[in-house]
Amino acid sequence: MINSLKILAERNSLLFCFGLLNMIAAIAFLIFLLSTDAVVAGSNTWLKPFKFAVSIAIFSWTMAWYAFELKGQGTVTAYSWVVIITLGFEIIYISIQGARGQLSHFNTSSSFYATMTLMMGIMALIVTLWTLYIGVLFFTNDVKPLPNYYLWAIRTSIILFVIFALEGGLMGARLSHSVGRVGNDMGLPLVKWNTRIGDLRVAHFIGMHALQIIPIFSWYILKSTKGTLALAFAYALLASFTFLQAIKGRPLLRFPVKNIVHK
């Protein structure tokens, strides 16, 4: 693990350091989460900052690893700063709102909060479209020599990531991740996915983490282009199925689960 982090730091020091800062922040948020009972929208006020810090760290390290394989490192440096600026804005604002016991996403209770919600959406769109551009580069000749199966794993995983990251725009337009009647459900532990009505976060989460899952399986297990493409297709079907289920107002799992993360 330590050796992998050293290699990662050598591949992209900017995104490595940014990811490390987010992981350190996540540890701090976890400590705050375990030491307070403050609740926002039915969840511990520090749960969202914790989840986003972990997610941003994983994304930053993942893209740092992949982007190293591109020949145009000037483009990679520019992309790295885009990730740092856009996602840095998001985690700072989400953390401030968590500390204040206020909503960050879907908060239109004042003109300031509505503007900040819009700004987060814009930042997310910018980094998603830049990631799409990085994905396009993997379809050109600007890539260092890689096993074909691994190259296709990177290509397909970025495509799926972008598609389901853009799903966040649907949640933003609705000002909600829930579909169906409003219920008093605390959701699944940690992820908080609703167990009574549709929840768009399920497909959002599954689709975006194609970025890690497909290349890992391709590199360590499948070692086959056909196998990688079959996995990517199956994974796309799974993410699409959970999206359609949510749109129909159906939960991933239909049973009430008590909230166990309040401390």
Q: What is the pLDDT of residues 101-145, one digit of tens each?
A: 999 999 999 999 999 999 999 999 999 999 999 999 999 877 889
Based on the fold, state whether residues 56 and 175 are members of the same structural domain.
no
Helix or strand holding residue 18 (H, E): helix 13-34
116 and 211 housed in the same domain = no
Task: Tell me, yes or no, whether 136 and 11 share the same domain.
Answer: yes
How high is the pLDDT of residue 29? 97
Say if residues 246 and 202 touch (Cβ distance below 8 Å). yes
What is the distance of C-alpha 253 from the center of its chain? Answer: 21
Residue bearing the bigger pLDDT, 228 or 142 = 228
Model pLDDT, residue 253: 78
Percent of the chain with pLDDT over 90: 75
CA distance 263 to 255: 23
pLDDT at 184 over 80: no
> Residue 73, CB half-sphere, CA atoms under 13 Å: how many?
9
Separation CA 149–CA 26 (nearest Å): 34
User: Please, what is the average pLDDT of the chain?
Assistant: 91
For residue 49, the model assigns a pLDDT of 97
pLDDT tens digit sequence for 77-103: 999 999 999 999 999 999 999 999 999
119/186 same-domain check = no
Contact (Cβ atoms closer than 8 angstroms) between residue 29 and residue 49: yes
Do residues 94 and 195 both lie within one domain? no
Q: Is 99 exposed, middle or buried (0-12, 13-18, 19+ CB in 10 A)?
A: middle
Question: Locate tokens 């890690």: which residue?
Answer: 212
194 — pLDDT class (breaks 50, 70, 90) = confident
In angstroms, the Cα distances linking 258 to 4, 90, 104, 190 are 38, 29, 23, 11
Closest by Cα among 204, 213, 73, 206 to 153:
213
152 and 211 part of one domain: yes
The predicted structure's pLDDT at residue 261: 41
pLDDT of residue 180: 81
Give the Cβ contact number of residue 221 at 10 Å: 11
pLDDT score recorded for residue 72: 85
In this predicted structure, what is the pLDDT of residue 178? Answer: 86
Instruction: Say whether both 161 and 97 belong to one domain.
Output: no
- List all residues 6 or more positions away from 130 whose beta carbon is below 8 Å from its beta carbon: 79, 82, 83
Contact 188, 258 (CB under 8 A): no
pLDDT for res 186: 64
* End residue of a domain, out of 101, 123, 145: 145
pLDDT at 52 over 50: yes
Which of 228, 155, 240 lies closest to 204, judged by CA? 240
Cα within 13 Å of Cα(122), Cβ side: 8
Rounded Cα distance, 205 and 210, in Å = 9
Q: Which residue has better confidence, 183 or 212?
A: 212
User: From the centroid of its chain, how far is CA 196?
Assistant: 23
Burial of 219 (0-12, 13-18, 19+ CB in 10 A): middle
**Residue 191: domain span:** 148-263
Q: Indicate if 110 and 85 belong to the same structural domain.
A: yes
Number of domains in the chain: 2
Q: Sign (positive/negative) of CA torsion 164, 166, 169, 174? A: negative
Last residue of a domain, one of 145, 174, 206: 145
The answer to whether 200 touches 240, Cβ cutoff 8 Å, is no
**Is a pLDDT exceeding 90 seen at residue 47?**
yes
In this predicted model, which residue has the larger pLDDT, 239 or 194? 239
Which residue from 9, 49, 4 is spatially nearest to 27, judged by alpha carbons? 49
pLDDT for 138 equals 96
